[in-house]
Amino acid sequence: MSTPLRVLIVEDSEDDAALLVRELRHGGYDPTFERVDTSAATKTALEQRAWDLIISDYSMPQFSGLAALALMQQLGIDLPFIIMSGTIGEEIAVQAMRAGAHDYIMKNNPTRLIPAIERELRDAKIRQDRRQADEMVKYLAYHDALTALPNRTLLHDRLQQAILTAQREKKPVALLLMDLDHFKEINDTLGHDRGDRLLQQVGSRLGKTLRESDTVARLGGDEFAVLLPLAESEHATLVARKIMKALEEPFVIDNLPIAVEASIGIALYPDHGENADSLIQRADVAMYVAKHAKSGFMIYRPELDQHSPKKLALMGELHQAIEHDQLRLHYQPKIDFKTRRVTGVEALVRWQHPERGFIPPDQFIGPAEQTGLIGPLTEWVLQTAIRQCRTWRQAGTSLNMAVNLSTRNLQDPQLPRQLAKVLDACAVDAGCLELEITESAIMMNQANAMDVLTRLNAMGVGLSIDDFGTGYSSLAYLKRLPVGTIKIDTSFVIGMATNENDRVIVRSTIDLGHNLGLKVIAEGVENKESWQQLRDWGCDAAQGYYMSRPLPATDLTTWLSTSPWGFAVG
């Protein structure tokens, strides 16, 4: 039985081609062949039909063996290429082999032909298998085995590409991250096999919802991503809605209808991130918030960051920080304009993280509120500050102590009782304590705030409104609160030097506070000019870097005895 062989013969002589075919038949092959002798015909033959082998003459009137070889290579085809020539000399043969021909045979001595073909076919097969294996490896490196969708690596590549294109064309790119709700429960109840099939169906439904040019990827678990090149936020929102709609119809697995819901987070280049990593991270934050808000989908906003998984990990550690004594209080003095002396200090919390170093309060107070950790944190701050107050008192320094409360603290009906206990245990008079509450915290808790503040006030604790001017509180309302002091926000005081508007706000806040019978403190006094201006306007007290930054207790003790604003201790 002869072996079929598809051979392209590049040869100008019909007779030589016939001889060659006869040779092949003798050698046990059953050749199907075509004879060509021009570049165009060779190209057509290579492009339109599949071949096992090319046997080419070296020189022809209109064409040459080397040109045929180059053409094959240009077309990206890898076939055994054997040159068969009557004229070829040693030197030319070497040149042909160098160019990539696999062998050369003399027309007048064809005995080597059949063994050469056998060997080259075998080698070609090996090369082809290796190529396929390589392609498979490459495919697997860039695709998810379960759904055959692009994986995280490929998504990342395409996202980078899309960003480059968008940069050139000055257009946005949208990235959607999607996570199935309750997939773990589905997986646990129905089994992993059905869970896998569900993921496959979700993947294919996503694919059908989108355009060819969009990339749907599976990032792992029940997380999918959709990349929309050159898409505005309206389009991204539309696609998110389309996806939610597409998922509404239940999936059917083993005749079981399974309802699936998803949460989608959207981030856009360049508004939310400049590169692939930051976009992925931000879409992830938006997705996370969408999931918890049960809102379906959400576009990233910077405020969402406080909910990010990274922040939440930090919150896990904050819990420990409170117990393992990683929190510190720094104290910033408040100076009375009339006496030019310190009257009290504000306690400001810092976190001395063992690996991340010093973390400022702005980075963990907000998230601590979200996670309820603000309760134990405030308790720690109150205890530490009040104890410090006692220590200074025992050393003969009577300083009032101010502590910041946050929004959530005002919702805690236990707070006044807790506070009374600490004051009692330290034998510190309630009148020495001042609690600072922001305008917005009060406005967010109007009903509770009135109750809690009234109780605190009844205990004799002083109350002040922090960051005054940044919120939208109604004055009529503030007037009814048992508050003794307002603190003008740092931003206005710092802005005073350059911004007329800020000057007007500061000045009228001082007047307004006085008209309501309140004391007015300015925060953010950074230089002599501000100090003098505020004094001239009749402001009562000041706090700021000009006098002192917030300091650890021992440094503040030194400051008290050395600074002109302080007073000798003991």
Residues that bind ligand C2E (CB under 6 A): 332, 348-349, 360-362, 365, 381, 404-406, 436, 466-467, 490, 523-526, 543-545, 550
Q: Does the footprint of Ca ion cover residue 305 (CB under 5 A)?
A: no
Residue 348 site contact among Ca ion, ligand C2E, none (CB < 5 to 8 Å, cut-off depends on kind): ligand C2E
d(CA 122, CA 134): 18
Nearer to Ca ion, 11 or 434 (CB): 434
To the nearest whole angstrom, how small is the minimum distance from the Cβ of residue 440 to Ca ion? 12
To the nearest whole angstrom, how small is the minimum distance from the Cβ of residue 374 to ligand C2E? 7
Q: Which stretch binds Ca ion (CB under 5 A): 92-100, 206-214, 354-362, 465-473?
A: 465-473
To the nearest whole angstrom, how small is the minimum distance from the Cβ of residue 326 to ligand C2E? 14
As a dihedral over the C-alpha atoms of residue 42, residue 44, residue 50, residue 55, rounded to 10 degrees, the angle is: -10
Which residue's Cβ lies closest to ligand C2E? 544
Nearer to Ca ion, 384 or 404 (CB): 404
Measured over the CA atoms of residue 63, residue 69, residue 73 and residue 78, the dihedral's sign is positive
Tokens 């200074």 belong to residue: 392
Nearer to Ca ion, 187 or 404 (CB): 404
d(CA 391, CA 385): 10
Nearer to ligand C2E, 261 or 336 (CB): 336
530 close to 498: Cβ distance less than 8 angstroms: no
Q: Does the footprint of Ca ion cover residue 179 (CB under 5 A)?
A: no
d(CA 142, CA 152): 8
Q: Does the footprint of Ca ion cover residue 467 (CB under 5 A)?
A: yes
Q: Does the footprint of Ca ion cover residue 369 (CB under 5 A)?
A: no
To the nearest whole angstrom, how small is the minimum distance from the Cβ of residue 360 to ligand C2E? 5
Q: Which stretch binds Ca ion (CB under 5 A): 171-179, 382-390, 433-441, 560-568?
A: 433-441
Nearer to Ca ion, 305 or 466 (CB): 466
d(CA 353, CA 338): 40
Residue 544 site contact among Ca ion, ligand C2E, none (CB < 5 to 8 Å, cut-off depends on kind): ligand C2E
What ranges in 63-112 are assigned the alpha helix state H? 65-74, 90-99
Q: Which stretch binds Ca ion (CB under 5 A): 68-76, 112-120, 235-243, 463-471?
A: 463-471
Nearer to ligand C2E, 84 or 551 (CB): 551
Strands (DSSP E) contained in 112-186 are 173-180
Per-residue H/E/C for 471-503: CCCCHHHHHHCCCCEEEECHHHHHHCCCCHHHH
To the nearest whole angstrom, how small is the minimum distance from the Cβ of residue 554 to ligand C2E? 18
Taking only Cα atoms into account, the Rg of the chain, rounded to an integer number of angstroms, comes to 40
Q: Does the footprint of Ca ion cover residue 439 (CB under 5 A)?
A: no
Q: Which of positions 540-559 make contact with Ca ion (CB under 5 A)?
A: none
Q: What single-letter amino acid sits at 534?
A: L
**Residue 272 per-residue DSSP state:** T
Nearer to ligand C2E, 187 or 530 (CB): 530
230: which 2 tokens?
């050159």
To the nearest whole angstrom, how small is the minimum distance from the Cβ of residue 421 to ligand C2E? 18
**Residue 415 per-residue DSSP state:** H
To the nearest whole angstrom, how small is the minimum distance from the Cβ of residue 489 to ligand C2E? 7
Which residue's Cβ lies closest to Ca ion? 436
Cis preceding linkage at 270, omega within 30: yes
CB atoms within 10 A of CB 248: 9
d(CA 344, CA 525): 16
